[in-house]
A and B are shown apart, each in its own frame.
Chain A
């Protein structure tokens, strides 16, 4: 087995797989190392499937808008896998005046970035989605948002990159990075040593431990989220949904099942925090959240729930950046649970960053690794 490539990517989630695909498309030889036994085993298979621009930090909006305009509409054809992309808008719902205030703030900031998003009242919300309860008094609506299937999108990038000659090795946990003559060179795993001129660390929270070996630290923490899925239901609606307080989020898939994600708020204090195991109360809590907004779903059966961790960055925006102290080392981590919809845009920019050294979007300085400063 050949252990050397132009680029070694650590992390086989959607960011690692998409970056591998776009690098391979540029003619770069790539090895992807995934620590777990499965491709897309972190946040990539543990999210609500939103492909949205609204409700984001303004710093993320140019990249995700670019991806939605240029990549998402034709991604299924490009990868040869149905990623179930549906662009029918995102409703971010509110039930109280305080919720509306949060939504108004998000909407104003997104509009300033050139995004078409509007505040609408309860009746207008129910015109778009008649199943919503009377408790909903308003929402932000962005018609160019949507949703897709994070599992097939991640595996689609993997499949296509593999077809282009990218080597994927799972069950290969990275222990440390080594430099040679001041430049990044070696990636040491439990079983082997790989070498590359360039190394991209896209391993979610685990990136922190890996970059520690070359003296780089990104302030982030692990946050647990739970997802659940219902049995297939008759067609109800096509919008992506979220709430002002993020009680739950999700959509009805093209298959008919509803996929929702959410949290109880107690996750940071769980006694076994550190294990990706669903807590018994999480799915129940998410169900109550859903039923308050969608009373009609009370008889829908949950067939499966699962949990996982997101890598929440200190300022809740990812790090996508070259590392100046270690030439050849690049980071793409800390996506804070917003990493799915932005992944195609991020992947294109990461490939450009690692080859030409420039970016398609012009605000990449917002994602630098050295932006974190103490408050005093």
Chain B
């Protein structure tokens, strides 16, 4: 569902906070401060944040941190978390070796 999203609307300045060093995405070691700052640099969606910072793009693919990230972004944009689209989940659902994934018709079915 496409929603008009003006990327120049005023969300106020980035204000550093005491817990900015807290690691939110453990796989890619992205901190709360990095996520908050990226929102102020224009990354208003979870999808763009993932592409910009790699948060939620590591081994667990955001299964651990996506709720936390959503909460942080929503607070920064001053909207409800329910208004933010989650990022698309992608195959394979668990990290899979190339020799397994590349052998879909053989013994490893």
Q: Are B90 and A306 in contact, with the CB atoms below 8 A? A: yes
Contact of B92 among A232, A255, A305 (CB under 8 A): A305
Chain A residues within 8 Å of B99, by CB: 287, 291, 298-299
Contact of A37 with B54 at beta-carbon distance under 8 Å, contacts A283-B91, A303-B61, A303-B95 already known = no
Taken together as a complex, chains A and B put the C-alpha atoms of A284 and B88 apart, in Å, by 20
Best-surrounded residue of B6, B7, B96 (most CB of chain A within 10 A) = B7
Is the Cβ of B3 less than 8 Å from the Cβ of A37? Answer: yes
Question: Which residues of the other chain, B, contact A284 by a CB distance below 8 angstroms?
Answer: 101-104
Does any Cβ of B come within 8 Å of A155's Cβ? yes
Q: What residues of B have a CB within 8 angstroms of the CB of A229 in the complex?
A: 57
Shortest C-beta distance, B29 to chain A (Å), equals 11
Minimal Cβ-Cβ distance residue in B for A290 = B98
In angstroms, Cα B109 to Cα A196, docked, is 57
Q: Provide the bound-state CA to CA distance between A39 and B49, in Å.
A: 11
**A 301-316 to B, binary, CB cutoff 8 A, 1 in contact else 0:** 1111110000000000
Indicate if the CB atoms of A170 and B42 lie closer than 8 Å. Answer: no
Task: Answer yes or no: B31 CB below 8 A from chain A CBs.
Answer: no
Given A37-B85, A283-B101, A288-B102, check contact A302 B96 (CB 8 Å).
yes
Flag whether A281 is at the interface (Cβ < 8 A).
yes
Closest A residue to B85 by CB, please name it: A37
Nearest residue (CB) in B for A192 is B4
CA distance A280 to B96 in the complex (A): 14
SS class, residues of chain B in contact with chain A: loop
Chain B residue contacts of A360, Cβ below 8 A: none
The answer to whether the Cβ of A300 comes within 8 Å of any Cβ in the partner chain is: yes
B102 A45 Cβ-Cβ under 8 A:
no
Task: Determine whether the beta carbon of A255 is less than 8 Å from that of B90.
Answer: no
- Bound together, the chains give a CA A300 to CA B96 distance in angstroms of 8
Name the residue of chain B whose CB is nearest to the CB of A285.
B102
The yes or no answer to B52 lying at the interface (CB within 8 A) is: yes
Chain A residues with CB under 8 A of B103: 284
- Asked if B43 is an interface residue, CB under 8 A from chain A, the answer is yes
Decide if B71 is an interface residue (CB 8 Å cutoff). Answer: no
Q: Verify B52–A171 contact, CB threshold 8 A.
A: no
A287–B96 Cα distance when bound, in Å, is 11
Listed in ascending order, the chain A residues whose CB lies under 8 Å from chain B are: 1, 35-41, 45, 81, 151-152, 154-155, 158-159, 162, 167-173, 190-192, 229-232, 255, 278, 280-281, 283-285, 287-288, 290-291, 297-306
B residues adjacent to A (C-beta < 8 A): 2-8, 41-45, 47-48, 51-52, 54, 57-59, 61, 85, 88, 90-92, 95-99, 101-104
26 residue pairs A–B, Cβ–Cβ below 8 Å = A35-B2, A38-B48, A40-B51, A151-B52, A155-B42, A155-B52, A158-B42, A159-B41, A168-B6, A168-B42, A169-B7, A170-B45, A171-B5, A172-B4, A173-B2, A231-B58, A278-B90, A284-B101, A284-B103, A298-B97, A299-B98, A301-B98, A302-B95, A303-B92, A304-B61, A306-B90
